Amino acid sequence: MRICIPIPCFFPDMDFVSAIHKVGELGFDAAETYNWKGLDLEAVRNACEETNVELISMCTTEFNMTNPEMRQKWLKGLKESCRAAGLAGVKHLITQVGRDTGAERRLQHESIVNALRAARPILEDTGVTIMIEPLNTLVNHPGYYLWKAKEAFDIIHEVDHPLVKVVYDIYHQQVMEGNIIPNITNNLDCIAHLHAAGHPGRIELQFGENDYHVIFDAVDKAGYQGACGLEYNPTLGSVESLESFKRIYRKG
């Protein structure tokens, strides 16, 4: 399993191209970001080629799939984001599904599925994989619709397309329901990316209640081929935090 560094978490005040170089200097070969607008995407791609650091994912510009009236706006944002991903050499986009509108959950679920089905031609044209993300509603995202891993996996099976997947965030799912290892290892066909943080506090992995040695070993043994983004708020300072991660969790 590759380890991915979310640049906004660790180097928010650094020029983005310099941050890519910093990730490489620290011994990592993967990074991700969220809002891509304002980035010089060609310069980012060049930096990734120079450093052999892959920019694995960015986010879509729109997060509003639960409301069918917003579908065309979401699709327009997806097209724009896929074009940007192509310029930057990025193969994955993360999208949140949006807030709970108050409509029946069945209808909101159907709206998400239909939005993703409508997205299939866009994804096929660009080769970009879209990843929906369940989030916790108890601490960080009150009012968000999709919090249960099983529903996310059900959505992927209903859409049934190789470019539509889930980003499974271990921190969010620990807050909401736990059962981390079975939910990952039994659903690898649905998962394209992982996120990790220590809970409580969304901090370094070693300071939380999860034993990430056990989690990472189980995920590796299950055959997961993707990356895991260290999406936490460092308390030790960015460089020290990443160096401590390498000491604690890297093998060999």
Pairing of strands 191-196, 92-95: unpaired
Which CATH entry fits the domain spanning 2-249: 3.20.20.150, 3.10.450.40, 3.30.43.10, 3.20.20.70? 3.20.20.150
pLDDT in tens, 129-159: 999 999 999 999 999 999 999 999 999 999 9
Q: How does DSSP assign 18-38, residue by residue? A: HHHHHHHHTT--EEE-S--TT
Give this prediction's pTM: 0.97
For each of the chain's 252 residues, which pLDDT tens digit applies?
999 999 999 999 999 999 999 999 999 999 999 999 999 999 999 999 999 999 999 999 999 999 999 999 999 999 999 999 999 999 999 999 999 999 999 999 999 999 999 999 999 999 999 999 999 999 999 999 999 999 999 999 999 999 999 999 999 999 999 999 999 999 999 999 999 999 999 999 999 999 999 999 999 999 999 999 999 999 999 999 999 999 999 864
pLDDT in tens, 186-224: 999 999 999 999 999 999 999 999 999 999 999 999 999
Largest CA-CA distance found in the chain, in angstroms, rounded: 52
Q: How does DSSP assign 156-175, residue by residue? A: HHHH--TTEEEEEEHHHHHH
Domain boundaries, the chain: 2-249
